[in-house]
A and B are shown apart, each in its own frame.
Chain A
Amino acid sequence: MHKTYRLGRVDVPVLRGVDISVDEGECVAVLGASGSGKSTLLHLLGGLDRPDKMDAESGIHFRGRKLRDFSSGELDRYRTRSVGFVFQFYHLLPELNVLENTLVSAMVGKNRISWAKEKAACTQRAEMLLERFGLGHRLRHRSVELSGGERQRVAIARALMNTPDLLLADEPTGNLDQTTGAEILDAMMALRTETNQTMVIVTHDTATADRADRIVRLVDGKVVRD
């Protein structure tokens, strides 16, 4: 998999022939320094961006299908149902409260009628997830009223809302202090143990990477050790 960005007149290659595979139920850590292309890799995996087309076989394969062959609607559905994103900077919607931020990923792609039908069940699941992450008492709080750790737990709950096949976490502890970061990681690992959740965690922190089943090292857009 290759990915090159164009900056003005200059082509900047970010990924130069990355070839990795993730098994179902596996937790893979992508370890790399800043600028090594690990976030780009995650965006490509999550269908937020498309890799360069090098040959017929290059690209991302998800359960035997190439993401490149997905229609725009299928790609949207892939992001909604198959993938859950957790970002370093949480990326919560500031106007919404904790419960709404969690529910928003369930609302996406549904019309009013189907949402009305599923709202009660979704709310129940969101509350269950938030309770599990210790936020049961903060459902009506807005994200600005939360600490960094709490915000990241809301982001994880949102990512898990649609029970995705793949959880993609981009530096999930990168913006947190060590203790809070460890708590977040504990929560994620506990979840993995319980639900056998497939995960790709991008990090520059070896301690975080060590919690994964497998570590992929990325240097200058290439996998140096798998």
Chain B
Amino acid sequence: MPLLAVVAVALCAAMVLIVWSVMGGFLNSFLASGRQMIGDVTIAYGREGIPHYQQLMDMLEEHPDIDETTPTIETLGLVSLPFGESKDVVIVGVEPEGYDAVTGYSDRLYWRQREATGDDERRREAVQQAVENGADFSELPPADIRLDLPEGFEIFGERLLVGDPDAPAGAGWESAAVMGLRVSPFNATSEDGFFYPRFPGAFMPDRSITIRVVPFNRRGGFTTAGTVDREFPVANEFVSGLFQVDSKWIIVPLADLQQMLRMDATERVDPNFTPGADFVNGELVIRTPEVIGTSPARVTSVLVKAREGVTADEIEPIVKDIYTEFAALRPPGTMDSAPDAEWMRENGIYTWKKKPGLAEFIRQVESETVLILFLFAIISMVAVVLIFAIFWAMVSEKTKDVGILRSIGGSKLGIAWLFLRYGLIIGVLGAAIGGTLAYIIIRNINPLHEWLTHLTGRAIWDPAFYLFSRIPDQVEPGKAAIVLVSAVLCSVLGALIPAVRAANMDPVRALRFE
């Protein structure tokens, strides 16, 4: 019976700890990753974009609490991948250096040359050979193949350019794209969680892709021009940990995307111009419109990074105020007008936590965590009831022993403590076993999930829904302590009433108990 009680406590403690760790870990890593891709505060204005963004950025960067800013464009598009694959994606135009300064994106580039370790020399050579002969990575044992990239492999992507590293600066370099690792269907994951190309020729940094976008006019509507296609060599791939980002985002240089979307600076001509031709001195001259100014380049968002030690929530109102100042310099009614300050304060300026799509999701996960914990807390009450029942039965069974102990001078308190201590030991044992069990399960939750998926043919953790490609597998010591101490307390609580019953037994009746 006591063994049963230990098992009940262990299972309940393990159950609660696993759920809390996975859900909480999920939320934590989500928050951390989200911030790394989108900076602290975003100023966003849909398809029409924000003109004179450089001026806005200069104004922002003057503030001591703002560290860096960077312009970006986010637009929907299609990508044509090698081997006839195509899919819908999000094309993100960035200025690589500024974007890296705000988001630290270069740390998320996946393919990079590392120092090959001496003891891995043989394997490294084999892989190098394989790469030269059209690598078949799929036949390699699961490991981090990045360690085995050939010597000549350069880390491209930080500057979103590819070219000959030995060529003089600026010569022979061309704009390139950096894709999320899950955009290409040709990347597979090893059991150890490393990505590798599924078959020879599928290593994306060796390939080019074609991106198709739809330009919008300055009022956010479609233009008659249709779609714009452009081929980009792939410089590298990145992994953020956010499934939706890794499976959808393709990062390209901002200037190229501005050009494709017609968001770059252009000449403005007389709107009253009538096309046609005139005879001038007997020659037919085609009319050209009069240039009356330039239409400024635009971006859909400006990302802002707070200075070290300043939170996103702290700089949000500062950014709003600076934007209002900026909008006042660009009053409505012209091509240079900034989006309305009031509207932007309400809808267009937000911290990374409040980014549309993310905010709802964060709330959802938080309330789900609370709900699940509540449900499991109720289930854990079963453990208390079970221990209560077990101890009740145990006290009944030991009635005569209680009588014997009382007859030799055992005090009521001593008898109660005897059973409470038993409950405590069961709680401590159960918590220790449950904690160990939870730790083993949480640390191995991804292999376990893969095994279950393999067994049932159905993925329980759907990355498309949970955004993360891997289930969080960290145990927070604080949470573990709360769960395990609660398990011990529950166990003592379950033993309390039976202990009091034992203490209050009439020793004479207890001695006569058969």
Seen from chain A, the residues whose Cβ lies within 8 Å of a Cβ on chain B are: 43, 46, 48-49, 72-73, 76-81, 85, 87, 91-93, 104-105, 108-109, 158
The one of A48, A81, A92 in contact with B507, judged by C-beta atoms closer than 8 angstroms, is: A48
Contacts of B507 in A (CB 8 A): 48-49
A-B residue pairs in contact (CB < 8 Å), sample of 25: A46-B407, A48-B406, A48-B511, A73-B411, A76-B409, A76-B410, A76-B411, A77-B409, A79-B407, A79-B408, A79-B409, A85-B408, A91-B407, A91-B511, A92-B404, A93-B404, A104-B408, A105-B408, A108-B405, A108-B408, A108-B409, A108-B410, A109-B409, A109-B410, A158-B408
A81–B91 CA distance with the chains assembled, in angstroms: 88
Contacts of A108 in B (CB 8 A): 405, 408-410, 414
Contacts of A78 in B (CB 8 A): 409
Sorted from nearest, which 9 A-B pairs have the closest CB atoms?
A80-B409, A79-B409, A105-B408, A76-B411, A91-B404, A48-B507, A108-B409, A49-B508, A85-B407
Contacts of B412 in A (CB 8 A): 72
A87–B411 CA distance with the chains assembled, in angstroms: 20
B409 x A105 contact (CB < 8 A): yes
Does B401 interact with chain A (Cβ within 8 Å)? yes
Give the size category of B's interface with A: 10 to 19
Smallest CB–CB gap between B427 and chain A, Å?
20
Contacts of A77 in B (CB 8 A): 409
A93 x B409 contact (CB < 8 A): no
Smallest CB–CB gap between A86 and chain B, Å?
10
Seen from chain B, the residues whose Cβ lies within 8 Å of a Cβ on chain A are: 400-401, 403-412, 414, 506-508, 511
A43–B511 CA distance with the chains assembled, in angstroms: 10
Closest to B509 in A: A49
Contacts of B403 in A (CB 8 A): 91
Contacts of B400 in A (CB 8 A): 91
A201–B405 CA distance with the chains assembled, in angstroms: 21
Contacts of A73 in B (CB 8 A): 411
B508 x A43 contact (CB < 8 A): yes
Given contacts A108-B410, A109-B410, 14 further A-B contacts (CB under 8 A): A46-B407, A48-B511, A49-B508, A72-B412, A76-B410, A76-B411, A81-B409, A85-B407, A91-B400, A91-B511, A93-B404, A105-B408, A108-B414, A109-B411
Closest to B409 in A: A80
Contacts of A104 in B (CB 8 A): 405, 408
B508 x A80 contact (CB < 8 A): no
Contacts of A80 in B (CB 8 A): 408-409
A93–B406 CA distance with the chains assembled, in angstroms: 12
Closest to B512 in A: A39
Smallest CB–CB gap between A78 and chain B, Å?
8
Smallest CB–CB gap between B178 and chain A, Å?
67
Closest to A73 in B: B411
Smallest CB–CB gap between A47 and chain B, Å?
9
Contacts of B508 in A (CB 8 A): 43, 48-49
Contacts of B414 in A (CB 8 A): 108-109
Contacts of B406 in A (CB 8 A): 48, 79
Smallest CB–CB gap between B350 and chain A, Å?
62
A161–B126 CA distance with the chains assembled, in angstroms: 81
Contacts of A93 in B (CB 8 A): 401, 404
Smallest CB–CB gap between A163 and chain B, Å?
14
Closest to A40 in B: B508
Contacts of B506 in A (CB 8 A): 49
Contacts of B408 in A (CB 8 A): 79-80, 85, 104-105, 108, 158
A72 x B407 contact (CB < 8 A): no
Smallest CB–CB gap between A164 and chain B, Å?
10
Contacts of A158 in B (CB 8 A): 408
Closest to A161 in B: B408
Contacts of B404 in A (CB 8 A): 91-93
Smallest CB–CB gap between B142 and chain A, Å?
53
Smallest CB–CB gap between B394 and chain A, Å?
12
Contacts of A76 in B (CB 8 A): 409-411
A78–B408 CA distance with the chains assembled, in angstroms: 9
A77–B406 CA distance with the chains assembled, in angstroms: 11
Smallest CB–CB gap between B286 and chain A, Å?
108
A202–B409 CA distance with the chains assembled, in angstroms: 21
Contacts of A49 in B (CB 8 A): 506-508
Closest to A94 in B: B401
Contacts of B405 in A (CB 8 A): 104, 108
A49–B507 CA distance with the chains assembled, in angstroms: 8
Smallest CB–CB gap between B425 and chain A, Å?
15
A79–B404 CA distance with the chains assembled, in angstroms: 11
A91–B403 CA distance with the chains assembled, in angstroms: 9
A76–B404 CA distance with the chains assembled, in angstroms: 13
Smallest CB–CB gap between B111 and chain A, Å?
64
Which of B403, B506, B508 has the most chain A CB within a 10 Å cutoff? B508
Closest to A159 in B: B408
A139–B410 CA distance with the chains assembled, in angstroms: 23
A104–B408 CA distance with the chains assembled, in angstroms: 8
Contacts of A81 in B (CB 8 A): 409
A43–B407 CA distance with the chains assembled, in angstroms: 9
Which of B404, B407, B506 has the most chain A CB within a 10 Å cutoff? B407
A219–B511 CA distance with the chains assembled, in angstroms: 23
A87 x B511 contact (CB < 8 A): yes
Smallest CB–CB gap between B264 and chain A, Å?
83
A191–B32 CA distance with the chains assembled, in angstroms: 81
A73–B511 CA distance with the chains assembled, in angstroms: 20
Smallest CB–CB gap between A161 and chain B, Å?
9
Which of A43, A78, A91, A104 has the most chain B CB within a 10 Å cutoff? A91
A92–B511 CA distance with the chains assembled, in angstroms: 11
Closest to B408 in A: A105
